[in-house]
A and B are shown apart, each in its own frame.
Chain A
Amino acid sequence: MKIVTFPHWKPRLPAGVTLLSLILNGILLSRQPVSLDDFHVALSAINFTESGQLGPTMWNHPVLRNLLVYGTMKLFGTGVLGVKGVSLLLGTLCTPLVALVARRIFRDERIALTAALLWAVDPLVIDFSRQGINDIYLAFFPLLGIYLAYRFRETANSAWLLVSGIAFGLGLASKWSALFPLTATFVLIIVTIAGGAGGMRERLARYCHVTALLLVIPALVYLLTFVPWFARGYTPAEWPALQRSMFLETSQHAGYKPKLWDDRDNRAWKWFVVPSLFVDPFMNLDHIWGDEEVVVTPEKNVTVVLGVANPLVWLLTLPAIFFLLRRGIRQRDEGRVYLVALFCCSYLPLILSPRPIWLNTALSVLPYAIMAVGGLIWTLADRLQRPGRGVALYLLLVLLVASPLYPLAIGKGMRIPFFREYLASRYLVQFKEKMPHTPSQP
């Protein structure tokens, strides 16, 4: 095994970006009204952990979210930390992970920090780091698995690969799409072994070693998350039928309920081609409860959370991937080719899927897209006389665009005059027909 080493870097800057991420993800979180999804996430956590039954919401997805949310609700109660604490933590920790992985892929700290910053300020990331549902897990666990696999390559210490396998297993137990980066990472290590020193006997032993730690361990972790289900009396022989049922629902899923707004923007191929957004309007009557004088109106009682993809980042992704691939092949740069493989493995199955794929799923692709954009920006900037200024200008523009998108991502758009009219006309018309005239008992 070829051992790759990296010089120690000062953690101040990544820590600063992580702190920024924590602030953006956490600010006013307890004042963001609880959505129906959040409520059902908490209910499903209780249902699965105490009764071993999937559902009532998103029963077709793997079950790690139920276990984690149940754990945080036991620790912190059913307040904001209990319901959303896991997403907040994992969404924030993705920021240093993006930096750590990008640093290993590009061997360039500037790119690593730029990618981390782009991640921290992305409205979709902020949106889903503030929700109970588990899409942000799909960024975190594979990134952690990749980082730990790199640590294994740096040290040849099997313990790193073991925890990498566990991280990928937890990713699989969040959603099956973690399988794609796991496959790319497995192939990378297999190719490394094939191209390394040693005879057939050594290689064969190493193939078995990697297979055990990077395929068998994730499978076992995934299986173990179903312990509450097995405690209902099921045996492993009955488990494949459950997986089949979950797979059939997931592969044909077209939404749990018809949506009350324009829901046509659900094709994965569009994400990096045209400006895209994730729409999540929901009604919550917390603040008017018990006050009979207050009239319920969509403008006051419907929260519209909009995760708008920052076009200055997202629309650069495909050129960045093309550029990376070309450069990776020409320079035989393993890191760049690996990043392209991670992106393609994660993205192509979503493009090819015949079912609707909403933008929340893009979080499983976004870390690699953002790293690629960071790489492209610095490669282009290095052609300038003062690369730092060029990148600073780009980042300034990104932040300028991200600033007005932030209140939309945290559900405060209805408080801003211009956005209020836009959101009301675009998303609240259908809600008006369903609004209760007077509040009924909850």
Chain B
Amino acid sequence: MPELTVRRCCAIFAIVAFFAVVVIAALHRLGSESRVVGKSGLIGSPDIVKLMADDPSEAYRIWKEFGYRGRIIVYLADRWETCNPDEMIPAPLARPYPLSLVNPARFLEENNLNGATFLYIASLNRITRKIVALLPPGEISRMVGATKRGKDFQITSSGIDDSRQGFPRRFTTVDHFAGSGEPVLLYVGASCLRAVEPEELYRLLIKSGVTTDCVILCREKGKDSVSPVEVAKLHRFARLMGLRTLSGSRGATRYVAPMAAVPAS
């Protein structure tokens, strides 16, 4: 029977402490290396991917095709679309063994991808780990009321931090946005240009210091709040960013695949 000596106790304590450090370091590495990031820069940089999409579903498919993983998505639009995940995978009335089960992420991608769900599905499919929504001040005010029905939220003068089922989200205005500390996937919906001119939006985004490796400009086809005026503004914004060809979706810029996994900062 082993003796419980002082030396043995101290050795076990040291081993466990060392193991704890190793575990935390390994998890940090796992998390960091799970992120897939391309070459990044400020939004005007010629090195980053800039694409025009017709609708949010197409934006999702671009992210998926490029293989982005574990990223922060910065989402600009005129409003925050909500969906109820609980209602998207209906439980069958008959449930005989063996159970007929699906991978929720794949199931929703195949059956429910649209403008209201694409961010949620991007979260399920590991593309994003956090969403920062830059919305007009009126929409932020509306969301304050909606957020208060939840349990985990913080409302400050600069915006709202609100998690849904543990998934972190931040809602703020573009002039309160101060970057995210790492390259983001930037999604600019045409509807966000109802409230701001392209030049002003471009200036504010540059000022925020946000870096990105992929900007998707989305015409948001079919959205009730988007008219040809907003689409024209989106094209002006694209030209400010240095995107030259705007005809057709996804044809304007060549893809830079394959994407290598790069540890994020």
Asked if A and B are interacting partners, one says yes
In chain B, positions 137-177 with a C-beta closer than 8 Å to chain A are 151-152, 163, 165-168
B 90-109 to A, binary, CB cutoff 8 A, 1 in contact else 0: 01111111111111110000
The residue that A236 contacts in the complex, of B12, B31, B91, B123, with Cβ under 8 A, is B31
Instruction: Say yes or no: is A422 at the interface (Cβ < 8 Å to chain B).
Output: no
Contact residues, A219-255 vs B (CB, 8 A): 219-220, 223-224, 226-227, 230-238, 241-242, 244-246, 248-249, 252
Chain A residues positioned under 8 Å from B105 (CB to CB):
47, 50-51, 53
Shortest CB–CB separation between residue B124 and chain A, in angstroms?
5
> Could you say which residues of chain A place their CB within 8 Å of the CB of B70?
232-234
In the complex, residue of chain B having the shortest beta-carbon distance to the beta carbon of A45: B101
**Contacting pair A231 B4 (CB below 8 A):** no
List the B residue with the shortest CB-CB distance to A439. B93
Q: Does A335 contact B (CB under 8 A)?
A: no
At the interface, yes or no: B19 with Cβ under 8 Å from chain A?
Answer: yes
Within 8 A of A (CB), among B15-53: 16-17, 19-20, 23-24, 27-28, 30-32, 34-35
Q: A54-72 CB contact bits vs B (8 Å, 1 = yes)?
A: 1110011000000000000
Known: A50-B103, A227-B27. A233 touches B9 (CB 8 A): no
Contact B34 A230 (CB under 8 A): yes
Chain B nearest Cβ from A237, distance in angstroms: 8
Q: Which residues of B contact A224 (CB under 8 A)?
A: 23, 27
CA distance A440 to B17 in the complex (A): 58
Q: Which of B27, B126, B163 contacts A223 (CB 8 A)?
A: B27
Could you tell me if A233 and B103 are in contact, using CB atoms closer than 8 angstroms? no
B12 touches A53 (CB 8 A): no
Q: Interface majority SS on A: helix, strand, loop or mixed?
A: helix
A252 to B89, CA, bound (A): 26
Beta-carbon contact of A51 and B126 below 8 Å? yes
Q: Is the pair B99, A157 in contact by a Cβ cutoff of 8 Å?
A: no
Cα distance A214–B198 in the bound complex, in angstroms: 59
Q: Is B257 an interface residue (CB 8 A)?
A: no
Q: 25 A-B pairs, CB-CB below 8 angstroms? A: A33-B95, A34-B96, A46-B103, A51-B103, A51-B105, A60-B165, A78-B99, A80-B97, A82-B99, A156-B2, A205-B9, A209-B8, A213-B16, A216-B17, A223-B23, A232-B126, A234-B70, A235-B28, A237-B28, A238-B31, A241-B168, A242-B166, A285-B93, A286-B94, A286-B95
A217 in the interface, Cβ–Cβ < 8 Å? yes
Q: Does B86 contact A (CB under 8 A)?
A: yes
Q: Which residues of A contact B167 (CB under 8 A)?
A: 53
Contacting pair A55 B31 (CB below 8 A): no
A30 interface hit (Cβ, 8 Å)? yes
> With A39-B95, A56-B104, A284-B94 given, is the CB distance from A245 to B166 under 8 Å?
yes
In contact, A156 and B85 (Cβ under 8 angstroms): no
| Complex Cα spacing A82 to B101, Å | 12
Given contacts A42-B99, A43-B104, A442-B92, contact A244 B13 (CB under 8 A): no
A241 to B165, CA, bound (A): 12
User: How many whole Å from A73's CB to the nearest CB in chain B?
Assistant: 8
Interface size counted on chain A using CB atoms at 8 A: 75
B69 within 8 A of A: yes
B3 at the interface (CB under 8 A from A): yes
| B256 in contact (CB, < 8 A) | no
Q: Do A235 and B152 contact each other (CB < 8 Å), given the known contacts A47-B104, A54-B166, A289-B94? A: no
Taking CB atoms and an 8 Å cut-off, the chain B residues in 104-127 that contact chain A are 104-105, 123-126
Q: Which of B4, B27, B28, B70 has the most CB of A within 10 A?
A: B4
Q: State whether the Cβ of B71 lies closer than 8 Å to any Cβ in chain A.
A: yes
Given A56-B85, A80-B97, A230-B34, the answer on whether A36 and B152 have CB atoms closer than 8 Å is: no
Alpha-carbon separation in the docked complex, A283 to B152 (Å): 33
Which residue in chain B gives the minimum CB-CB distance to A436? B93
Question: Contact at A53–B95, with CB atoms within 8 Å?
Answer: no
CB neighbours (8 Å) of A219 from chain B are 20
B99 partner residues in chain A, CB cutoff 8 A:
34, 39, 42, 78-79, 82-83
**Closest CB of chain B to A58's CB: distance in Å?**
10
- Give the CA-CA distance A51 to B104 in the complex, in Å: 9
Q: Tell whether, in the assembled complex, residue A252 and residue B3 are in contact, meaning their CB atoms are under 8 Å apart.
A: no
**Complex contacts, B8 vs chain A, CB 8 Å:** 158, 209
Chain B: number of interface residues, binned into ranges:
35 or more
Nearest residue in B to A52 (C-beta to C-beta)? B126
A206 to B4: give the CA distance in the assembly, Å: 8
Interface residue A110 (Cβ < 8 Å from any Cβ of B): no
Taking a contact as CB atoms under 8 Å apart, the answer to whether B93 and A216 are in contact is no
The answer to whether B1 touches A34, judged by C-beta atoms less than 8 angstroms apart, is no
Q: Flag A27-45 by CB within 8 Å of B: 1 or 0 each.
A: 0001001101011101100
Quote the shortest CB–CB distance from A432 to chain B (angstroms): 15
Q: Produce 1/0 per residue, B180-217, CB < 8 A to A.
A: 00000000000000000000000000000000000000
Which of A42, A47, A233, A286 is close to B35, meaning CB atoms less than 8 Å apart?
Answer: A233
Of B16, B34, B163, the residue contacting A217 (CB under 8 A) is B16
B residues in contact with A211, CB < 8 Å: 13
A77 on the interface (CB 8 Å rule)?
A: yes
A201 contacts the other chain (CB 8 A):
yes
Q: Are B4 and A439 in contact (CB under 8 A)?
A: no
A293 within 8 A of B: no
Residues B6 and A205 in contact, CB atoms below 8 Å apart: yes
Residues of A within 8 A of B163 (CB): 241-242, 245
Contacts of A51 in B (CB 8 A): 103-105, 124-126
With A59-B165, A155-B1, A233-B31 as contacts: A285 and B124 at CB distance below 8 Å? no
Asked if B129 and A206 sit within 8 Å, CB to CB, the answer is no
For A231, list chain B residues within 8 Å (CB).
Answer: 30-31, 34, 126
Cα-based distance from A137 to B101 in the complex (angstroms): 24
The chain A residue sitting closest to B15, CB to CB, is A212
Inter-chain CA distance A327–B31, complex, in Å, is 53
- Which residues of B are found within 8 Å of A238, using beta-carbon distances? 31, 129, 168
